[in-house]
A and B are shown apart, each in its own frame.
Chain A
Amino acid sequence: MEAKQYIGEGWKHAILIIGAIVVMLPFYMMVSMSLKSQQEIQSISGGLIGAQETQTFPVCVKTGYSEETCTMKPYQYNYWFAFEKAPIPRYLMNGVIVTLSIFIIQVLVALPCAYALAKLRFYGREFVFSMVLFCLLIPVHGIALPLYVMLAQAGLVDTYSALILPWTISVFGIFLMRQFFMTVPDELIDAARMDGMGEYAIVWKVMLPTAIPALLAFAIFSVVAHWNDYFWPRMVITGNRDLFTPPLGIREFRGGIDSDEFGPMMASIVTVTVPLIVAFIIAQKRFIEGITLTGMK
């Protein structure tokens, strides 16, 4: 009986492991290529990290550096050249500014909205909520052009505002938080009112702390979407390289004399992806711990 159980569990794990490998493989390729030399990448040899032979890199020399500077191990070269060629820290900082601003403003808007839709009784509430649901159906790309025209009219193209403003009202966030607030017992809100809290105090001091798990789920969704967004920054950031977000930054390695320099390109992608993975791992731990509502009943 026990042995049989182990075999059954083994099958499940085998299938899950295969799935995990399929998902992890591109990441493996990315990390591996960011460490290897150009020849090794093109000949698909050298395993994970390649031979790491010290060599002189021709593209580097062509860019104008001395031959001495351009002689180093491939992994050093890839990461050094990636940072040398593009201001990656600046891009990362832009990414942080944009995604955090978007998320914070989204929360500032979505929480009071969700609270009103879930817990307050007012005329037309159902209509407003159906409008929220309706807005969920609108594809971003459908309204991209009007949005761009409006931003251009307002003179906001090529600014942080252009990157942030269109995303500050998240109907998905309102919907998600509203569904969560529906599960918070009315008595908790009544108790807060009896204690003397106003409605805004209830949103920030009672609803927000109980909604941390839902808020984290929304944070992952929002931050990942806007950190990785290529489409919108590409539209509204037309010239100013100082405003490039990480995905726009990666594009720097495409085209031109070094169009097939995969090493530095992969190195830059690794640098751009790592903060997100780290953030996710931290959030995931909190996610599983959660704040339970067991204090309620």
Chain B
Amino acid sequence: MGTISLKNISKSFGSTQVLNNLNVDINDGEFLTLVGPSGCGKSTLLRIIAGLEQQTSGDVLIDNKNVNRVRASERDLAMVFQSYALYPHLTVRRNLETPLRLRDYNAFERLPLIGNFSPSKKEKTESINQLVNKTSETLKISELLDRKPGQLSGGQRQRVALGRAMVREPVAFLMDEPLSNLDAALRVHMRSELSELHNSLKTTFVYVTHDQAEALTMSSRMAVMIDGNLLQLDTPQEVYDNPSSLSVAQFVGSPKINIFKGTSDSSGTVSFLNVNLKRKSSESNTDLHIGIRPEHLEITNESNDNTFSGIVAYRENLGSDIFFHVNIEDGSNKIIVRGLPQFTHQISNGSSVNIKRVSDKALLFNQAGMRVQFTNA
């Protein structure tokens, strides 16, 4: 079992409020990602779960047991750190052994030399060796066991750090941006490896990242945190399609969602630029923000009352997609439009284009940044 519940967690350092009354329930075997811009308190929350930091108020429950007063080492959690935090003076094998030795040997058996006289030590040493060998085979680091961390590459250190967390078979893994020190290609590769590992271990993962792409690709649910508040907790697809607020919509998705300023009239008809939306807003007679993701805009040859035009300022070619950064004609907006290379490869910087939107994809937000629903949607 590995359920973790956070109830009304608040944390402040001096007068600075870092976490604001957070409630999160993490299910057994779930891959939950805490995602948010840097400084949003997600690492602090993870450290509170780990027991490395004490919350100012609120309760942490692991498997329905209150662990507010339980030390980090006794919570049976394992943590993987951004800098890997391997013991630099120990070989990989000793690094993997350390948590087991501390758990399994008693104080006498840990003593150098005379500890070896304990009758039960030999048996324990054997089981430790087996666990270390098993873990290193799973992670394919068996041939690295006799090296020191200084002799390993970034990816190898990452694996060793994972291994050190895995050997203990904890109730949950806590990961604090474990991929952010790797180069881009390796990071993408490790994402899939971590997902596979999660599938085979079936243990709870709590994963902190500032990279929304990692959150979208790996997690079963993601919690979006901004400024110490939990804004949305849902499946990645739901968070992407149905963001609860403007901040979430802007944070999740790359390139960023396009935001247009618009208004709704007394009947709830939403208009921006020269375009009217078909669906009606539930809030009438007000200023609204209309969010449309880059893939929901198309470059078109048509010109009618459902299109608007602009000048291409910058063309970002990713091979599979081309993103056009377009200045809208009235100068109010700079937006990003996705184009498929086979249709748009001839469009260059400075050319004038017409843009059409895919219907039923716009998102409405009010002036306070909260989501506004369509009446007939």
Contact = CB atoms under 8 A, between A and B. Distances in A.
A297 B149 CA distance: 10
Nearest to A294: B150
A210 interface: yes
A196 B85 contact: no
A226 to B, nearest CB: 28
Contacts of B152: 295
Nearest to A189: B85
A196 B86 CA distance: 14
Given A195-B98, A195-B102, A209-B89, A295 B73 contact: no
A200 B100 CA distance: 18
A194 B79 contact: yes
Contacts of A185: 83, 85
Main SS at interface, chain A: helix
B42 to A, nearest CB: 16
Interface string B66-90: 0000011110011101111111111
A190 B81 contact: yes
B202 to A, nearest CB: 21
A294 B71 CA distance: 30
A295 to B, nearest CB: 3
Nearest to B154: A297
A295 B150 contact: yes
Interface in B138-177: 148-150, 152, 157, 164
A191 B73 CA distance: 10
A46 B102 CA distance: 67
B58 interface: no
Interface size class of B (residues with CB under 8 A): 20 to 34
B148 A295 contact: yes
Contacts of A188: 83, 85, 87
A193 B85 CA distance: 12
B93 to A, nearest CB: 14
B262 interface: no
Interface in A7-62: none
Nearest to B50: A194
B78 A293 contact: no
B99 interface: yes
Interface in A261-297: 291-297
Interface string A128-156: 00000000000000000000000000000
A197 interface: yes
B134 interface: no
A190 B79 contact: yes
Contacts of B84: 295-297
Interface of A: 185, 187-188, 190-197, 201, 206, 209-210, 212, 291-297
Given A195-B99, A297-B181, 15 more contacts: A187-B81, A187-B82, A187-B83, A188-B83, A191-B81, A193-B71, A194-B99, A196-B74, A197-B73, A294-B150, A295-B86, A295-B89, A295-B148, A296-B84, A297-B83
